[in-house]
Amino acid sequence: MKISDLFDVSGYGAIVTGGASGIGLGYAEVLAAGGARVTLLDLDAARLEAETRRLCREGFDVRACLADVTDHGALDAAFDEAAALYGGLDAAFANAGIDPGAGFVGAWAGSERPRLPGGAIENYTDERWNRVIDVNLNGIFATVRAAARHMKPQRRGRIVVTTSLASTRIEPAIGAAYMTAKAGAAQFMKTAALELAAYGITVNAIAPGYIVTNIGGGHAHDPEEQAAVARAIPMRRVGFPRDLYGLALFLVSPASDYVTGQEIVVDGGWGLGAAD
Ligand SMILES: NC(=O)c1ccc[n+]([C@@H]2O[C@H](COP(=O)([O-])OP(=O)(O)OC[C@H]3O[C@@H](n4cnc5c(N)ncnc54)[C@H](O)[C@@H]3O)[C@@H](O)[C@H]2O)c1
């Protein structure tokens, strides 16, 4: 046996929702670099085109699909198209998600972390709540369902959901709808894993802590915010999409054949309870 075979994803057909930016783009890049054929599904047309073009220029087998995960018909059609092109579907990342804005409380625990404006629960609008649940929870459901529809008949497949550290603990600065959606997605992931295990399909979740991406307008690129957050993380640094490469590859490759229903936190120790 060659150890590298354990992590071999060459020729795999994969689809990544929210694949044009941040964490999803990182998943797409590591898979494509491993020889997989990858569809980036996203609703941001400009970013989708730019990133697809860049990855193709680098010699990767990557294509773009413009779709919104809240449009379940369009999502199903996108999965049908990718599966037809790839002759099946080996991996799906249910990753697309949005920031909810500040939460009810609006302060970070610890004096040195940035303070964000908060609000009262009675000012949290239906529109804001529903959009976050629709993308961050219902979109996950519809993505996993679309993937299962293709993977069940082939009796194999890998599904990876992006949850969050916020699915396991309360962060006052993170909007309540976000935490609720992520916790729901984590529970849903486990029930999907139970249902799909008999078909040789694994379903797992990656729960990142603070990763520098474009979410919420890209505030995470601010060096002052990064420094403040890093002080609260035991490893004393913030995360980047590349910090998720190894786990994404593991969860899609033969190395994780007997791993399912797991939510794996990648956060530099933040969830352990950090000291400022
Ligand atoms: N950045 C973090 O610190 C962090 C931490 C934990 C979890 N997450 C989760 O990671 C996932 C990816 O977020 P990110 O941080 O990379 O953000 P990002 O904004 O950089 O990337 C998200 C991508 O999803 C796309 N998207 C948003 N809504 C969509 C929809 N309805 N349909 C299709 N595409 C849509 C966006 O256009 C964007 O390209 C999200 O689910 C997010 O909640 C992020």
Q: How far is the CA of 165 from the centre of ligand 1 (A)?
A: 14
CB of 212 within 6 A of ligand 1: the answer is no
Residues of the chain whose pLDDT is less than 50? 109-111
41 within some domain: yes
What is the pLDDT, as a whole number, of residue 164?
A: 96
Owning domain of residue 210: 10-267
272 within some domain: no
CB of 167 within 6 A of ligand 1: the answer is no
198 within some domain: yes
Q: Whose CA is nearest to atom 19 of ligand 1?
A: 215
- d(CA 256, CA 252) in angstroms, rounded, equals 7
What is the pLDDT, as a whole number, of residue 174?
A: 74
Q: Whose CA is nearest to atom 43 of ligand 1?
A: 97
274 within some domain: no
- For residue 147, give the H/E element and its range: helix 139-154
Q: Which of 128, 131, 196, 137 is nearest to 163 (CA)?
A: 137
DSSP string, 2-57: -HHHHT--TT-EEEEETTTSHHHHHHHHHHHHTT-EEEEEES-HHHHHHHHHHHHH
- d(CA 21, CA 74) in angstroms, rounded, equals 20
**Mutation to probe ligand 1, out of 42, 69, 182 (largest number of atoms < 8 A from CB):** 42
CATH code for position 47 = 3.40.50.720
Rg (alpha carbons) of the chain, rounded to whole number: 18
Specify whether the CB–CB gap between 39 and 88 falls below 8 A: no
What is the pLDDT, as a whole number, of residue 120?
A: 75
Q: In which residue are the tokens 């239906």 written? A: 126
273 within some domain: no
Q: Which of 268, 264, 135, 276 is nearest to 210 (CA)?
A: 268
What is the pLDDT, as a whole number, of residue 175?
A: 76
What is the pLDDT, as a whole number, of residue 276?
A: 73
What is the pLDDT, as a whole number, of residue 86?
A: 98
Whether 178 sits among the annotated catalytic residues: the reply is: yes
201 within some domain: yes
- d(CA 16, CA 23) in angstroms, rounded, equals 10
142 within some domain: yes
What is the pLDDT, as a whole number, of residue 210?
A: 93
Domain count, the chain: 1
